[in-house]
Amino acid sequence: MTARFPNTREFTGALYRPSRFEGEVFDLEVDGQLPTDIDGTFFSVAPDAAFPPMREDDIFFNGDGAVSAFRFGGGHVDFQRRYVRTQRLEAQRAARRSLHGVYRNPSTNDPSVLGLNNSTANTNVLEHAGVLLAMKEDSLPYALDPLTLETKGLWNFGGQLTDAPFTAHPKIDPLTGDMIAFGYEARGDGSRDIVYYEFDEHGAKTREIWVQAPVSAMVHDFAVTERFVVFPIIPLSVDVERLRQGGRHFQWQPDLPQYFGVMRRDGDGGDLHWFTAPNGFQGHTLNAFDDGEKVYADMTSTNGNVFYFFPPADGFVPSPETLVSQLVRWTFDLSVKGGRLDMSPLTPFPAEFPRIDDRVALRPHRHGWMMAMDPTKPYAEDRVGPRPFQFFNQLAHLNIATGKIQTWFADEASCFQEPVFVPRTGSSREGDGYLLSLVNRLDERTTDMVVLDALRLGEGPVATVKLPLRMRMALHGNWSRAVSPSSIKAV
């Protein structure tokens, strides 16, 4: 390989310089005592460009998906990392160079990959019905073997789905094992179609509903309750003509409202009701639940365009200090004629990547965990440079019932990756368990995993798992109890 990665913030520094490795580390080094009542696997995926990009201005989200597995049991943890062998990565490896141009604009790719699937499978990994799904919202998922991380191929659930895109944020009903999912731009780039799916615990599709959004725009995460689903339409619009001219897939629209489509799960889509709120950026969902004709969705919301790499037509990019992301409770009242939407903040600090105890998903929750940012805390800018994109210097726990907040700040040269809640083996009480999070050590250019008592974050880690290498910033991951092998037949 002779090409070099660009000297841009997307490809440099302790968070964003590509890691590019695959491998295993048996029995990771641990500081402290790793609890023996953590039993299962933490799967996570990072965009990690396998080759220097075709374009200098390439973005983090265009990196090839590299899946990590941290397998816990008996007070030990083993580590494994493999790239998802997507069609595009296999083509790149054969050519020993990147063949892919502008993010989500296949018309800018090398002609040799015309017709190949364009997914990087880099956004989220989730085990369901014995299949590890590696997901990117512009494509069907890839199926991986959860025990080996071997890629089986594009996954249409055994022929049950068309090739419509599939979200990277499906939800699991903890009581039934059902998976609830959707896809947007479901009839092609620039289409307003959304397809909604439900699958049973064995992966059999039980529901499919097609609806239309008011505009063609990003629908990254969504919210699901026992009876309703909420589609948040982020004001990042798609324009087919722009794509044809080689432009970016998304463009921020400062004059568009935030749209939220609320729909009954057991209907045919005819009841879908669109609520609007002032322009803003809907982030990730903590959880949602319903009570009668009211739907409550706790999601992060930012007062402007978080994605500086998808600017509006005039190119304006807000400075990071002016953007404030908060965890917000949206209340959708369907009992009022025309619907009524209320919004109230749940956190007094900037926060993103919120997580719950997944055992209460779709139902009322008491606890939430998230990455948080406290700008008053010390930061070693002289040693490690300016704060990178997605810099969060604290882990936070919010008791939603009492409003009480606990935080843990690592040090002046560390920041976090998305945490995950892990129930203590044998317990059933919400919140009884651990919070796991990767910590980027900006000074040493290494990565640790901290294990905290989820309800006592302030006391700091009970154990710190040391990785002998640096992990590029990941996006999302999920906890999985011990999984058994399954026969996966890919597309």
DSSP codes, 150-217 = -EEEE--TTTTS-S----S--EE-TTT--EEEEEESTTSTT--EEEEEEE-TTS-EEEEEEEE-SS-B
Check whether 273 is labelled as a binding-site residue.
no
Burial 97-122 (b: 16+ CB within 10 A, else e): bbbbbbbbbbebbeeebeebbbbbbb
Rg (CA), the chain: 21
DSSP codes, 404-447 = -EEEEE--TTEEE---EEEEPTT--STT-EEEEEEEEETTTTEE
Check whether 365 is labelled as a binding-site residue.
no
159 Cβ partners below 8 Å, 6+ apart?
Answer: none
58 Cβ partners below 8 Å, 6+ apart?
Answer: 6, 10, 11, 49, 103
Check whether 249 is labelled as a binding-site residue.
no
Check whether 169 is labelled as a binding-site residue.
yes
**Residue 403's CB: how many other CB atoms inside 10 A?**
10
Q: Tell the burial category of 126 from Cβ atoms under 10 Å away from its Cβ (0-12, 13-18, 19+).
A: buried
Binding-site residues from annotation for Fe cation: 169, 220, 284, 476
**Residues flagged as binding site:** 169, 220, 284, 476
